[in-house]
Each structure stands twice: as structure tokens, then as C-alpha cells.
Amino acid sequence: MENIEALREEVLAEIEKAADLQALEDVRISALGKKGRITGLMKNLGQMDPDQRREFGQTLNTVKDQVAEAIETRKSGLEDAALNARLVGERIDVTLPSRMDETAGRIHPISQTMDEIISIFGEMGFALAEGPDVEDDFHNFTALNIPPEHPAREMQDTFYLPEQEDGSRLVLRTHTSPVQIRTMQSKTPPIRIIAPGRTYRSDSDMTHTPMFHQVEGLVIDKKTHMGHLKGCLLEFVKTYFELDEVPVRYRPSFFPFTEPSAEMDIGCSRKGGELKIGEGDDWLEILGCGMVHPRVLAACGLDPNEYQGFAFGMGIERIAMLKYGIPDLRTFFDTDLRWLKHYGFVPLDVPNMVRG
Amino acid sequence: MKFTLDWLKQHLDTDASIDVIAEKLTDVGLEIESVTDRAAALRDIRVAYIEEAGQHPDADRLKLCRVNTGDKIIQVVCGAPNARTGIKVALAQPGAIIPIDGSKLKPGKIRGVESQGMMCSTRELCLGEDHDGIIELPEDAEIGAQVATVLGADDPIIEIGLTPNRPDCTGVRGIARDLAAAGLGALKADPRQEAVAGSFDSPVGVTISADIAKNGAAPAFYGRYIRGVKNGESPAWLKARLEAIGLRPISTLVDITNLVTHDLARPLHVFDADKMSGDINVRYATNGEKLAALDNREYELSDSMVVIADQAKALGIGGIIGGEETGCVEDTVNVFVECALFDPISVAKTGRKLQINSDARYRFERGVDPQSIVWGMEVATRLITELCGGEVSHVVKAGEVPAPRNSFDLRIDRIRELGGVEVDADQAIAILKSLGFEVSGSAPVITAVAPTWRPDVIGEADLVEEVLRIVGYDKIPTVPLERETSLPVPALSPFQKRVGLTRRTLASRGMFETVTWSFTDSRWAKLFADLKPGLFLANPISSDLDVMRPNVLINLIAAVGRNQSRGFADLALFEAGPEFFGDQPGDQRLVAAGLRSGSTTPRSWTGSRRDIDLFDVKADAEALLEALGTAAANVQVNADGAPSWYHPGRSAALQLGPKNILGYFGELHPKVLKALGVKGRVVAFELFVENVPMPKKKGTGRPLLNASSFQSVERDFAFLLDADVQSEAIVKAARNVDRNLISDVTIFDLYAGKGIEDGKKSIAFSITLQPTKATLTEEEIDGVCKKVVAAVEKATGGSLRA
């Protein structure tokens, strides 16, 4: 029994001294291997009488377990040390710039603003409608109660295509209102649509570009009145500008295709040259609107005594400039990479009423 | 439209302040553009008296004046030729703000002599254009008083933006009427409108040509001869009134016509009768007929234009401008007053053709009150005889004065139904009456006859608007738009959804979305299409934007050039927008086009930067196709299918079958890039979004995933091939050996050069075998591999490399 105790001490000391995994493995083989010292003692068990064998066997098993455990402990200690040493050697300069292979591009502010508008009016039950950029006189003017030579045609500087064989001239649509006409011609009320798109006027200076974008809204049913128009547009401006309250004002105005007509102003302040929306005692014109003119309804084959509703139209660049503080209209179309990076939107920022 | 507060008060009896008036104008639809408080601007300018004007000791042209300011005598150096002893002047003392430039006057020395003030000209005070000398004030002006008050230039100037439907408000009286209706006072009577008795027959007669009488281009013409007038400078009140709204006083006779135009929306003309030859005839001009007009320009007329002519020639263009030759001058003695009616459309057409923007045209093309031909003549007559004297003839008349009675029923309920606000019948009737409507009947339906000055009122909806705008839009309650369904239905159609997906897919691949003009430069566009004449703009904004773009890439390529010149060469731009293939509405298609140039990334320590090549845009196009639901593997790459603006050897069409072209990709042709001013290589793709098939399957379910539970096996091969063999041939041949077992074929290496003979290349690829019933044995694998080698050799003529 003393021998066992001495052997235990001896092996444990050797384990403690093992400097690396190989030395430890050598100790394990010399103690627990086939020809190992402890294994040798185990072999002797067979020659003992039962009582002695039980007692000796128990002791030897305990020693064997202790040695095996000590080896495991030492082994994981040595492994940790080796790993730590490797990790220290692997240190690199984490302040180096990131890989730039996977940078996202940007969505143009016009597309983003259109998506915002669609998400807000979509929530109010409006569907997206579209129409062609090249329009005929009927859809762009006549059906909208703008007869030839009406001075209202001079309100808009129209781009014309060449005269056709029948003497008529196609135009680049001067507003998105022809989509109203096409919708009313093809659908039976109730109608709720918004129609964003490219529009064209022959005008180019600091605040005008020959192409710009508008969004048209139209509601036609048997009961919608100007109170609803006010309600609908108030909800829109509050949601769009992300403000709890926005002062609004409606001024009587004139558009050939609406009667009564109004222009909507929103409250703002211009103190110190900085425009702030939603506060202050100044007003900012934001859109034109009104009840659809009976003549327009009639031109689309709807009975003005049965159907009524409102329409509105606004400039998309204008409200994008107001919301995002973009100073110059012309830059929208200049394709300057710096501008696109600065004012553009990351593609996963998809406008959504629920997520805000 | 501009007027002053005092002018307005000549028609409107009111105590309302300027602020209240301004707010009400906007409320009734006469939007305030500006209110200018002139008294404030002239606050520091006072009346002073030149006690003595002597010679400056060191300057011949300068005078040294002793000026009495009322509380002291100061010394002022002045260069004005009219500065002299004994006149009253407009004096600015040190500290005063000079209106013309907003500067603060400082005491100074002029040629060594101290000057303690400045005597101002009309122009320096922003009261007119005159800068020939200093203002001479009336002798009875009180020294030290405000110059603004003395000149009658102390009332605010109001400018409103007028919508084209309100011709009545092109005169101050119409504006006053709206304000009175809105409760801001009472409209005063205008006694000037009563008839003046003539004492003799006009020696000048008037006729309207038969064709004009027939088509109504000039329905009526009134004339009156006034003999023995004395023309000259207008009285101060008249000059001040015109100058306040930016008009230059000319002579009393001319100033009177301008006054009546702006006061009553009634354009007039006064001819010097002694320069006329015989009777007036209103007729169409002859082609090529010329007229020297009062704006000092000569116009060439055509036979659609109405002229006022005498027996010799045209004297003026009807409703637009008078001629210079018969205009009134200082020594005019006998005049012929024209008060006529012209058709709005005819005036608008002529005005547009001749590009004349006159105050008369502005009013006639919006519609002048036909009744004003009667009272307008009387107002003009009274003003002329009052200010210039003279003896008045009877009025000579031609044509018929139209007497429109536009009568409409108004269902009182319609005000609530359309306007959303309850207005009782009594209030509606009162409003309409105060606006000049003749109203009869009672609720529920009343009848209103529009006044002759309101040609814009054409139906019931207009009556509703008249009532609502006077009641005030602010009285309309704000009502939420009712929902039609408890949750909204999708706003976007499946196709519209794709367009958004297209944009966001490309942007998420590192591309920047742009929006460029729908038109482009035809010199560029012709490289992309045979340009249809019908797609050229008849009136382009400039010659480089003269045609509807036949291809979205054109403006994008030009954008590369612009960015290159700003120093940005590494670009990834796209646009999803229309291109135009025909000249009828709807002849346009939606194209997602993108291009890349320069390098993939900025220079980086990682060494990952490399030049962009066509496989970058091929990846863009394929990613977009996948996002839109078309597997890129099913799309054929037709190396001979790309159009001429691509590099012939480095481009392809993407097709589904022989007919459906989904798009193109490749390197752009160097000639095209050069023509558009772009340096280096640019790769691009175009995808016709409408051509990408919509999913045929209805419903939201997806095909079941069929994931085999048996291990897949990969094997690699390397082939020596002729250089012009397409890798797609290898993929196809290998895949077709056993389409059920071979789930993937991937090219992973391409080599040509050292070790490979000229005209050859080495391509390495791997195949993936995916069993579905049992794990493959080595024999099975070897069998497939042998077949693959044989198939590829057969298809390509290449050989397996050892």
C-alpha cells in the first residue's frame, strides 16, 4: 500500500512538472499506458486473494482516477496556455479601415418622397394610378375644362410635339391631372387614386426645371365634400412632415378643373432665414385643390348630379425640398455623385406608415 | 394687380386697418403678394427750403446751399441743375435711410466743403424714374413735414396675385366690391358713370367690318369727339396714383386712360383727331400691314388681327395697343375717345403672336364687362373735360353691346353637399346680391343672374364657390375621409410593386439612383435609334434637349462625363424611367438602366480594388431578374444580340426564347462614349421591366422544397479548348448528361497564356452530383464523370487536361 501512495505522489509530481503536451503524454503513457506503472500494478490484482484484492483494487482505482483527472486538468491548462500564446501572436491593427466592397447605393429623394406619399395616401385607401408622359390635347386640356385659347393655357408653358396630319399636336403633359381623366373614363366610382409622375413645362430658371414631378389625388363618389378634402390633406401634411399639429389655411383660388378651388398653405416660420414648418406666423403655399368641376365629370362620362369629389395636386420636388432641406431644385436632375450620396436614401429605408 | 390703400378707399367706405384688409383679400381669393408701407420708407425725408443757393468755391457744377430744415439752417452741397434759391426740397439729413439703396446718409465733405444733408431726386426716393434734378415740392409745403405726406405717397401699396378668372378685379373697384361683400365696409357709388350730354355730332364716324361684326371679334365700338382740349402734365394726385403702381405719367390724356384701366378695369384709347384721316373702321389687318405702336416698336400684322383703322391706315391693334402716329402729345387739341369691346380669344391670340403684354390685353383677354362700354365712355369724358377742358360730341356707336344674362339655379343644399358647411338661404342670397348678382326665388332653390362683369360664373358650382369664399373657407369643418375598408387595400398593383423593387434592388447592390430628363440631345440620341420626327419637341427649351429620349442610357452616359469632369470616375448609376419608342400617348416603356465605370472600390489596403468589367453589370442584371422572379439560369445570354451602342465582342442580349428580349448588358461602344464626352471604359445594362414575365401562378404558395437527405458529391475537371469556345457550351453539355443527378455546373478557373498554346485556353469547372434515392458509389460517380468528359469533348472539341 505504501508503494501505491509513493507512486501516486511520484506520478502527480511528474504531471505537475510536464512543460508541454508531449511531456504530459509521456507521463500518461508511463503511468497509465499498456506498460505503465499503474497499469502494471493493476495486472498484479489477479494474483491476490479476494479480500486483499478488493482493498488493493479500490485504492488503486482511486489513484488511477486521480492521476487521470490530474492529467486532464494539466492538459487543458497547457492547451489554454498554448492558445493564449497563439492569440497574442495573432494581434492585428483593428483601426485599419473596413473593407469597402459591399457598400449600399442610394435611392433618389424623388423616388423616396413618392414612396412616402404612396404609403400615406395608401393608408387612406388611395390606389396608385399612372398615365403616359406624352398626352393628347383632350386629356391634358380639353377634358380638364381648359378650352383652346383659354388664358389658363398660358398659365402653363406647354411643350408641344410636331403637328400631326390631322393638325392636332400632342403635348408633354403639363400636370398629372390627365391621369384623373383616364381613371374616370375607365373606372366606375367610388374612385380614390393618387398619380405621381413626370410633368413638363417649358420653363428653366432658378426655381423651374423643364421636367419635374407632381402627384395628383382624386376622390370621386356620391358624398365627398370640401370638409373631407380638408380632413384628408390635413392628415397628409401632418404625417408627411412628421408633426403632431400643422397650422393650415385654405385660400379660394382658381383652377379650370375644380370648382370651388382652393390653395392650401401650411404654417411656417422664416426667422433668421431658416424655414421651419409647423410653427410661426408665416404661410407657405403647398398645393392646389378643389371639388372636381362638373364639366370635368361630364367630359369623363360621369353625371355631375350623381357624382362629386375632390382633386388635388402638388409638386414632389417642392415637398421633398421642404421636408429634407434641399436648397436647389435644379440639383435633383444634375446627377452629381456627391449630391446623390448626401441627399439619397439607403435602400432598406422603405417608407411605411406602421414603422414610421 | 397693384393699388394703394387710398385708391381702394375711393371705392370702399371702410375703417378697417391695412392688416385687416390684407387678410380679408387673401381670404376671399385675392391673394396678397405684398404690402409696401411707403411712409415708413420715406420717414426720414422731410420738407426743407433753400434759403440761398451759392456757388461751390472749388467746383463749377456744384452749388453750396443754405437750407432751412425748420429748426436750423444747414449747409448742403448739391450737383442738381435745378437747385436754386427759394424752392422747397426733399431733404435727407445725416442718419436718414435713402430708399433707393437702403444706405444711411453720413455727413461728408464734397470737394473740401462740408455737406450736412442731401436733397433727393424722385428716383432716389423710389417714387419714379426721374433723376435729372432734385424734387421741387409745392410752395405751400410746410417746412419739416414728411415729404411722403406732401407728395401723397404715404399710403401703403397693395399687390395681389390675380387668378385669370377674375377680370372684374383687374380694376380697383372690383376689389372693393369683393371686400364690401365680405363685410369690410360699403361700396361707394361712382357718380362719374352718369351720362354727359354732347353738344354736337362727332365729325368722325365709326363702322365695324361685316366679317368682324359676324364673328364677334369686336362686338361694339363707341367713340366720342372732344374738341378744344388742353393736354399737359397731369395733376399731382393723378401722377402720384400712377407712379404708386409703377406707371410713368405721360400726359393728362394718356394718364386718364391708364387711370380708368386700373381703376375700373376699362381700357380706353384717345386718338389725336387731327392726325386721323376720316372715319374709324374696325377691320382685320391685311397680311404684312405694319403699325408703329406706342411702345416704340413696329409690328407686322396679319389678317387674323383686329385693327382700329381710319380711311388711310391702321391706327391701333384692337384691345392691345395704340399706334404712335395718332397718339396724344403736348399740343393735341381735338381728340377722339375709343371705348370698345373685343373678343377675349381674338385678343389673346393676337397678343401672343405679337408678344405684346399690355394692360389692355391683360384685361380684354380675361373678359371686360360689356356694360363698361357705356359707362366707361362717360367716366373718360368727365375726366377729360374736368382736367383738360373741351367740348363734347354725342357718342357715335357701332355694333351691339352684348347683354349676357347668365342665370343659374342654386339648390341651397348644394352648398352643404359640396362645401361641407351649412349656410342658410338668407345669408347665401345676401352674399350673392352684394357681389352684384340678381337673385330671385327662395329656399330650397334660388335663381341668380350673374353680373355682366363676372363671365367666369357659368354654373351652380360657381355660385357655391361665391358663397363659400365670402363665408370663408375657414368656416368649413375639417372632416376625416371615411375609410372604405377597415384595413386599406394595397395601393400598388403587382407591376407597380416591381418598379419599387427594381429601384431598391439596384440601390442595395451599391448603385446610385438618378433622375434625368425625359428629353435629350438628338445628336446623341441618333446613336441609339432612328429618331422619329414625331418625337422632336416643337419648342425645346434648348437645342441639347430637343428630342424625347429613345433610350434611358443616353442621359446616364452623359452624367458619367459630368462626374468625371468633377473628379469622380468610379461610378455606379442607374435610372428606372421611361424611354420613348413612338410618338403616340403610351408609346413608352419602363426601363431600368444602369452603368458602372472606373474601379469597384476606392483604393484599399485590402487590395480588393479592381477595374469594373462587364461581369459586374451582368451580375446587376441577373440580380434584378432574380428579384423580379425570373431565375437567371433560365435566361439565355445571346452574345450576338446586343445593339450597336455596345462593344460588339463584349455584350449580349438577355432573352427568354428567341422573341422576348429582357434586356442587354456589356461594355459600351467606344465611339458612343467618345461622342458623349466620356473617358475610359463604361459597362452598362438595360432591362425592360415590362418584358420580365409576371409569375403565372396565382396565390401565395411556393413550390415545395425538395432537399435530398443524401450527401452530394463534387468533381473537378480542366479542359483545353479553342479560345473562342463559349463557357456556356461546357455548362450545357455537362448539365445535360443527367439533369436529375447533376444539380450544378460551375466554372471556377479560366487561364490562357504561358504553358497554353496560342489560340487555346484552359477552363476548369466542377460538377455537383446530388443523388435523391441513395448515396452514390464510386463506380456510379466515375461513370457520370466519364460521360461528362465525353459530352464536353463532343460539344466543344476540347480535351481533358491531364
Binding site annotation covers A259?
yes
Tell which of B481, B501, B587, B604 to mutate to test the A interface (max A CBs under 10 Å): B481
The reported pLDDT for the residue numbered B370 is: 96
The reported pLDDT for the residue numbered A147 is: 83
Judged by a CB distance cut-off of 8 A, whether residue B751 touches chain A is: no
Q: Which residues pair with A192 in a beta bridge?
A: A219
Mean pLDDT of chain A: 91
Regarding whether A30 and A132 lie in a shared domain, the answer is no
- Cα torsion B268, B272, B277, B279: sign: positive
Regarding whether A137 and A83 lie in a shared domain, the answer is no
Regarding whether A216 and A74 lie in a shared domain, the answer is no
- Shared fold status for B206-399 and B494-691: no
Structural domain contains residue A96 = no
The reported pLDDT for the residue numbered A101 is: 67
Is residue A215 classed as helix, strand or coil in its secondary structure? strand
Regarding whether A223 and A144 lie in a shared domain, the answer is yes
**Which CATH number is associated with domain B713-800?**
3.30.70.380
Structural domain contains residue A248 = yes
Regarding whether A307 and A192 lie in a shared domain, the answer is yes
The reported pLDDT for the residue numbered A154 is: 60
Q: For residue A261, what is the nearest residue in chain B, using CA coordinates?
A: B465
Structural domain contains residue A354 = no
Judged by a CB distance cut-off of 8 A, whether residue B498 touches chain A is: no
Judged by a CB distance cut-off of 8 A, whether residue A224 touches chain B is: yes
Chain A neighbors of B519, CB-CB under 8 A: 210-211
Regarding whether A271 and A224 lie in a shared domain, the answer is yes
The Cα of A231 is separated from the nearest Cα of chain B by a number of Å equal to 4
Which one of A55, A89, A123 terminates a domain?
A89
Rounded distance between C-alpha atoms, residue B52 and residue B557, angstroms: 75
Regarding whether A114 and A80 lie in a shared domain, the answer is no
**H/E element holding B205?**
none
> For residue A279, which phi and psi values (nearest 5 degrees)?
-145, 170
Domain count, chain A: 2
* Minimal Cβ distance to B469: which of A102, A119, A252: A252
Judged by a CB distance cut-off of 8 A, whether residue A164 touches chain B is: yes
Q: What is the ipTM of this complex?
A: 0.87
The Cα of B10 is separated from the nearest Cα of chain A by a number of Å equal to 26
The reported pLDDT for the residue numbered B3 is: 95
Contact criterion met (CB < 8 Å) for B485 and A125: yes
| Domain at B39-150, CATH homologous superfamily | Nucleic acid-binding proteins (2.40.50.140)
The reported pLDDT for the residue numbered B511 is: 96
Contact criterion met (CB < 8 Å) for A308 and B418: yes
CATH number at residue A323: 3.30.930.10
The reported pLDDT for the residue numbered B191 is: 86
Structural domain contains residue A95 = no
**CATH class of the domain comprising B407-475:** alpha beta
The reported pLDDT for the residue numbered A230 is: 97
Contact criterion met (CB < 8 Å) for B518 and A198: yes
The Cα of B353 is separated from the nearest Cα of chain A by a number of Å equal to 12
The reported pLDDT for the residue numbered A167 is: 84
Chain B neighbors of A118, CB-CB under 8 A: 491-492
Which one of A57, A89, A121 terminates a domain?
A89
- Whether A118 has a pLDDT exceeding 60, the answer reads yes
Structural domain contains residue A349 = no
Contact criterion met (CB < 8 Å) for A308 and B417: yes
Judged by a CB distance cut-off of 8 A, whether residue B626 touches chain A is: no
Q: Which residues pair with B271 in a beta bridge?
A: B336
The range of the structural domain enclosing residue A164 comes to 109-343
The reported pLDDT for the residue numbered B152 is: 75
Chain B neighbors of A165, CB-CB under 8 A: none
Which one of A27, A60, A89 terminates a domain?
A89
Nearest CA-CA partner of B473 in B109, B96, B28: B28
pLDDT in tens, A126-166: 999 999 999 999 999 999 998 877 655 665 589 999 988 88
pLDDT in tens, A45-79: 778 888 888 888 888 888 889 989 999 999 999 99
The reported pLDDT for the residue numbered A151 is: 57
Regarding whether A189 and A47 lie in a shared domain, the answer is no
Contact criterion met (CB < 8 Å) for A160 and B538: yes
pLDDT in tens, A184-224: 999 999 999 999 999 999 888 888 999 999 999 999 999 99
- Report in angstroms the alpha-carbon separations of A245 from A171, A241, B80, B82, B89: 40, 10, 59, 62, 55
Amino acid letter at B604? S
The reported pLDDT for the residue numbered B83 is: 87
Regarding whether A124 and A65 lie in a shared domain, the answer is no
Tell which of B493, B508, B515 to mutate to test the A interface (max A CBs under 10 Å): B515
Cβ(B94)–Cβ(B75) under 8 Å?
A: no
Q: For residue B493, what is the nearest residue in chain A, using CA coordinates?
A: A128
Chain A neighbors of B460, CB-CB under 8 A: 294
**What residues in chain B have per-residue pLDDT under 70?**
none
The reported pLDDT for the residue numbered B408 is: 95
Judged by a CB distance cut-off of 8 A, whether residue A96 touches chain B is: yes
Rg, C-alpha atoms of chain A: 41
Model confidence at A274, in pLDDT bands (50, 70, 90)? confident
Q: Domain-by-domain residue ranges, chain B?
A: 2-32+161-187, 39-150, 206-399, 407-475, 494-691, 713-800
**Which CATH number is associated with domain B206-399?**
3.50.40.10
Structural domain contains residue A184 = yes
Chain B neighbors of A121, CB-CB under 8 A: 491
**Which CATH number is associated with domain B494-691?**
3.30.930.10
The reported pLDDT for the residue numbered B37 is: 84
- Report in angstroms the alpha-carbon separations of B459 from A36, A288, B38, B406, B455: 116, 21, 42, 9, 11
Regarding whether A119 and A84 lie in a shared domain, the answer is no
Judged by a CB distance cut-off of 8 A, whether residue B486 touches chain A is: no
Q: Which CATH fold topology does B2-32+161-187 show?
A: Phenylalanyl-tRNA Synthetase; Chain B, domain 1 (3.30.56)
Chain B neighbors of A262, CB-CB under 8 A: 473
Q: For residue A223, what is the nearest residue in chain B, using CA coordinates?
A: B417
- Whether A1 has a pLDDT exceeding 70, the answer reads no
Question: What's the predicted TM-score (pTM) here?
Answer: 0.86
- Which of A116-120, A165-169, B663-667 is least confident? A165-169
Regarding whether A157 and A79 lie in a shared domain, the answer is no
* Average pLDDT, integer, range A93-107: 85
